[in-house]
Structure 1
Amino acid sequence: MTDQSKKQAMDALSARAVRGEISRRQFTQLAALVLAGTPMLLRSTGAFAQAKELVLVNWGGDALTAYDAAYGQAFTKETGITVKMDGSGPTEGAIAAQFKSGAPTWDLVDVDPFSAITLGAQGALEPIDYAIVDKKKMREGFGWEYAASTYFFSYVIAYDSEKYGKDAPTGMADFFDVKKFPGKRSLYKWGVSSWEAALLADGIAPASLYPLDLKRAHDKIAAFKENVVAYWGGGAESQSVLLNGEASMAIVWSTRASLIEQDSGGKIKFIWDQGLISPGALAVLKGNPGGKDAAMKFIASAQDPQKQLVMFDKLGQGPANPAADALIPADKKRINPVDPENMKKQIALDMDWYAKNYGAALDEYTKIISA
């Protein structure tokens, strides 16, 4: 395991300990295995996949109940297969650790497509069976060899509207401007969006963003560190850092931004301007205990536009199936990342760039924010 993979695996393990899912003794034993390079992180803990059971790993918080309501319960009714939700966070390192253990306990993971490209090349993921999963139920170009898009989301600026009044931020330059917009900030622990935000704030035009100038981005991020109160690693953490007032402004997933706005009674708002839009996808672990075909059938079931509408209602996920677009009520289009009015304000993340560069970029980013 690489140092970064170990760190991600340890973070996932620590999260389980905090939630009381494992004892202190179990944490100590498993941590020793991870640090020794034996990726046994989840072999003795959490949700175990048995016969007639699938384990789907996502980013926790509200996503646990949303995925169960939209997809899990329906799939169980359709097939008799129980679906357990695990919110420990399917980072690239944690997925790799599952595969390298030789006995994965996860079946399905909510994964960034660029991570799926990398992990698939390592043999960690099953190729998507497009005889079961229907490419016609995806937007064109969003079905990959090792992952199938099931939703869209964006990295957006969320901010305290009471603190800033009518002077709402209008882009990444405002996020980095603590004179015009005083207060603490929060950035994503795993790098994605932080590089783009720094470069946009530094004057790079959206059309010239890729390939990312990492040195310039890291210089900007390093100089801004004193203003960052937290680097969030999962959805629940990104919500709490704004709701508890720890940060006045944060770059968060649009899926969580809409929930934060709701939970705060409109105090925390968000903008689409210079948002960074990305597909979310499901992938299947190589050798998953619940069976490859069952996992593929789950992905196919999740393509149903009515089910994706439930996910939109509960979590603000933009539908991957274009047939769901017409089902979104007019008064809710403003929170849909793939609505044309919102899309035109945003920039698409470059999946190919990330597939080639993410690992090294994240290592350098982690050194900077940890120093």
Structure 2
Amino acid sequence: MLKIRNSLFAALIGATSAVVALEQVRAEDKSLTFVSYQGTLQDSQIKAWQQPYTASKNVQFEYDSPPDGAKLKAMVEAGAVSWDVMDQGAAFAEQNCGKLLEKLDFSKIDTSQFPEGSVSDCGLPVYFFALTFVYNTEKYKDHPPTKLADFFDLKNFPGTRVLPPDISLGTLEYALMADGVDSKNLYPIDVDRALKKLDTIKSSIIFTKTNGALQQALVDGQADMGFAVTGRVMASAKAGAPIAPVWDKTILGWDALIVPKGTANLATAMDFVQFVSHPEQNKRFAELAGVIAATSKATPDYSDLNKTFNPRLHDETGDKVLLSNVKWWSANLNSVIAKVTPWMSR
């Protein structure tokens, strides 16, 4: 009888060990496909997010690019979603929440550390970027611009202006503030009034189709002033462009982590998003990529160049940095584009 019991016990131990081993293999085989924009940005995400997550959770990563909304839509509609976590604009998260995107699990995320209005049901903010007003220091070395209104003053500040290809980043808001609209009353945007203000300098505007072309215009000296996002401004400065920022009112946009609807790795994807929300991951990413930290609890050690072009470090009064109204833009982007596009060609 004892031998039989011992045999049964050994069998049970063996079965249990087999189950544990199987679970370990499954854990080791876990993987996520992360979709971002390649280049320095994604390299920084890998170092700040994916590598420490792999070390902590034994989850491997595959990578794809770019985070194309049309491709995601086709995947979801076909029921063949191969992406698990994406870096995308905040407006995309608002527009497609519950349709192309899963609602995030915030049960283990401290949302109070993010600016009010930046967290959405389907998007966790992971970095901010400014639409920065920059000018050529050689062109205006004796009389530099100091406020948004100077961008629209061709009499006192003659020269070419360059604008970003994405109208939702803040160009219209800047035009309105330069025209006297209080920063607290920008939304809903009076598109006609903004375009009327832009009409006053239209003959001196360079319209760019890509951010790369905008950056080149700053580097080559084709543009004497410009509105450009943080990353492109710093890249231009690194490439030798003699530019400096004007800190009047500055619009911040942001990117968010989103989870495609129908991912086969939902629990792991949600856990990864929660991991990225930690201040230490945000701090490391902000340092590596030179972006503006998403959480107030992150304290990046910025380089001198990062400090020069980080609006939060130049906001002495606490009212100069403004968040874009992503909800308004997500609801109105198509109608704005329909109005701005023919205006540009006139």
Asked whether 1:317 is paired with 2:287, we answer no
Structure 1 partner of 2:197: 220
CA distance in 2, matches of 1:239, 1:210: 29
User: Residues 166, 129 of structure 1: CA spacing in aligned structure 2 closer, same or farther, 3 A cutoff?
Assistant: farther
- Give per-residue Cα distances to partners, 1:160-199, cap 9 Å, x unaligned: 2122114222233222233333332221222111211222
Alpha-carbon deviation of 1:300?
A: 2.1
Structure 1 partner of 2:232: 256
CA distance in 1, matches of 2:281, 2:337: 34
Structure 1 partner of 2:331: 356
Asked whether 1:201 is paired with 2:175, we answer no
Residues 161 and 269 of structure 1 are in contact (CA less than 8 Å); yes or no, is this contact kept in structure 2?
Answer: yes
Asked whether 1:188 is paired with 2:164, we answer yes
CA RMSD of superposed structures (Å) = 3.1
Q: Identify which of 123, 147, 163 aligns with 2:139.
A: 163
Please give the secondary structure, in 1, of the residue aligned with 2:208.
Answer: strand
170-179 or 92-101: which moved more? 92-101
CA distance in 2, matches of 1:342, 1:263: 32
- 1:24-103 paired onto structure 2 within 5 Å: 52-58=31-37, 61-78=39-56, 79-84=58-63, 86=65, 88=66, 90=68, 96=73, 99-100=76-77, 102-103=79-80
Provide the identity percentage: 26
Asked whether 1:278 is paired with 2:253, we answer yes
Structure 1 partner of 2:18: none
Letter in 2 for 1:219: K
Number of aligned residue pairs:
314
User: Residues 151, 129 of structure 1: CA spacing in aligned structure 2 closer, same or farther, 3 A cutoff?
Assistant: same
Letter in 2 for 1:307: Q
Where in structure 2 are there 5+ consecutive unaligned residues? Answer: 1-28
Where in structure 1 are there 5+ consecutive unaligned residues? Answer: 1-49
Alpha-carbon deviation of 1:239?
A: 2.9
Q: Which has the larger radius of gyration?
A: 2
Alpha-carbon deviation of 1:132?
A: 4.9
Structure 1 partner of 2:153: 177
CA distance in 2, matches of 1:114, 1:223: 29
TM-score, normalisation: structure 2: 0.77
TM-score, normalisation: structure 1: 0.73
CA distance in 1, matches of 2:238, 2:252: 21
Asked whether 1:303 is paired with 2:277, we answer yes
Alpha-carbon deviation of 1:362?
A: 2.2
CA distance in 2, matches of 1:153, 1:196: 16
- Give per-residue Cα distances to partners, 1:81-124, cap 9 Å, x unaligned: 214252x365x666556545654454333333333111115x01
Please give the secondary structure, in 1, of the residue aligned with 2:269.
Answer: helix
Please give the secondary structure, in 2, of the residue aligned with 1:127.
Answer: coil
CA distance in 2, matches of 1:341, 1:298: 35
Q: Identify which of 200, 205, 221 aligns with 1:245.
A: 221
